[in-house]
């Protein structure tokens, strides 16, 4: 996995945060999934899709709506009934490319997703955990034998709920999680600069 390899190289001192962010950025472009710092996603929660009859807008235009609640609500509506279909079609292939194992505590506090459709999504600790567990189970990714509740073969949301639960399940869990968080932060700042209107 190129992203896993890139992150591993960073915490081994063989690559930079920017190098790993470049690999993540390429995966984002391939799948039309863009991870933003939650400060840029403050006006939405859960899954929002364009309202029926709303004009098609670009990713940059969708980004421009994120800090304008009135304009955002005029264009988007809450519709989490499409989340399962969207995950199967778009987000799970993105996870196949990245293995973005990060806990819900971090992701739901600091990150949101904007897609090229465009669709805007944030997660709670639990919903992020369910998303990763559903993906890992659908790909038959085995739970580590040393995991808490090791007799349980299927991943559950609790495995991804917070750092204390996920960290022991990953090889070099502490370094992995802290490095991925740095990469996501770096990448989000760069993406924000790309999508912000030129002055």
pLDDT at 72 (0 to 100): 85
Write down the mean pLDDT value for the chain.
Answer: 87
Q: Do residues 123 and 107 make contact, with C-beta atoms less than 8 angstroms apart?
A: yes
Contact 187, 24 (CB under 8 A): yes
Look-up: residue for tokens 């998303």? 131
Phi, psi dihedrals of residue 177, rounded to the nearest 5°: -65, -45
Q: Is the pLDDT of residue 42 over 60?
A: no
CA-derived radius of gyration, the chain: 17
The answer, yes or no, to whether residue 40 has pLDDT greater than 80, is: no
Q: How far is residue 99's CA from residue 164's CA, in Å, rounded to a whole number?
A: 19
Span 131-160, mean pLDDT? Answer: 88
User: Which value, to the nearest 10 degrees, does the dihedral of the CA atoms of residues 141, 179, 177, 7 take?
Assistant: 10
pLDDT above 80 for 37: no
Dist. CA 121–CA 114, nearest whole Å: 6
Rounded distance, CA 66 to CA 122, Å?
A: 12
* Residue 44 pLDDT greater than 60, yes or no: no
Q: Please tell me the predicted confidence (pLDDT) of residue 135.
A: 96
Of 156 and 79, the one with more pLDDT: 156
Who wins on pLDDT, 109 or 97?
97
Place of tokens 């204390």: 164
Q: What is the pLDDT of residue 148?
A: 74
Report CA-CA distances (Å) from 196 to 44, 87, 157. Answer: 18, 27, 34
Indicate if the pLDDT at residue 108 is higher than 50. Answer: yes
């Amino acid at each position: 996995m190129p992203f896993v390899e890139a992150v591993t190289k960073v915490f081994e001192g063989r690559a930079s945060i920017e190098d790993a962010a470049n690999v993540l950025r390429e995966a984002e472009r391939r799948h039309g999934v863009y991870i933003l710092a939650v400060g840029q996603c403050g006006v939405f929660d859960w899954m929002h899709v364009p309202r029926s009859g709303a004009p098609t807008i670009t990713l940059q235009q969708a980004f421009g709506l994120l800090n304008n609640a009135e304009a955002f609500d005029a264009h988007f509506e809450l519709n989490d009934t499409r989340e399962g279909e969207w995950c199967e079609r778009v987000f799970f292939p993105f996870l196949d490319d990245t293995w973005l194992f990060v806990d819900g505590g971090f992701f739901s506090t600091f990150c949101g997703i904007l897609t090229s459709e465009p669709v805007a999504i944030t997660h709670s600790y639990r919903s992020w955990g369910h998303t990763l567990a559903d993906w890992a189970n659908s790909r038959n990714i085995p739970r580590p034998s040393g995991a808490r509740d090791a007799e349980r073969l299927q991943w559950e949301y609790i495995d991804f709920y917070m750092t204390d639960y996920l960290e022991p399940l990953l090889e070099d869990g502490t370094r992995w999680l802290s490095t991925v968080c740095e990469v996501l932060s770096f990448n989000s700042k760069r993406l924000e600069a790309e999508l912000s209107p030129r002055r």
